Amino acid sequence: MIYPRAVLFSVRNKLILASASPRRVALLKQIAIEPDEIIPADIDETPEKTELPRDYALRIALEKARAVATDHPESFVLAADTVVACGRRILPKTEKTGEAKRCLELLSGRRHRVYGGIALIVPGGKEVSRVSQTIVNFKRLTAPELAVYLESEEWKGVAGGYAIQGRAAAFIKSLNGSYSNVVGLCLYDTMKIVEGAGYTHGHTD
């Protein structure tokens, strides 16, 4: 029996997630996708001068995927990057209290955008990518609210200084777009890319 190319891919080729983010692993499990391997990509994530947030999110996702695919040409390699942007400004993944405080003060009482770059490299080297966008409207934070959130340390290592799936959910007045994109990976776009490229989740080797 002759199988379609998509089915042949699903049987013979592994899916590698080029990310160390436990949030992305958990999100993928929601849609029954479990990577065969998790291999974090080691790349320079410094934004280029005048680089727009949307362009940066896509570039970094592609560079992560390429870095891992080089050593795994027979696998599907999925990568993503989440960027919180205030206007044209790319907010950092906060590691220090002062950095998180500055981000939250900037976001307080205003709308901002979250861009999610998604990149998939299929066996053979073809690249598929897209950028998801979510508009998030923050309430105006009081000094006590800000202090309590900073003490929680939920802001550590996350873009823009807040994790929407935690205590910061109480700061969100409205959201236009994908919620999972703000968490770390737009599941709708990811499923479309992965299935469109010929990978069938829930496969066996």
Q: Could you give the residue numbers annotated as active site?
A: 81
Dihedral angle, C-alpha 77, 129, 61, 185, nearest 10 °: -90
Q: Round to the nearest angstrom and report the end-to-end CA distance of the chain.
A: 19
For the chain, what is the largest distance between any 2 Cα atoms, rounded to a whole number of angstroms? 67
Looking at residue 3, what DSSP letter applies? P
197 neighbors 140 (Cβ within 8 angstroms):
no
CB atoms within 10 A of CB 29: 11
* Pairwise CA distance, residues 41 & 148, whole Å: 34
- 3-state class of 79 per DSSP? strand
> Which is it for the CA torsion 38, 43, 44, 50, positive or negative?
negative
| 16 DSSP β-pair partners | 37, 77
Count of residues in the chain: 205
Closest CA to 78 of 99, 92, 96, 62: 62
Tokens encoding 178? 């994908």
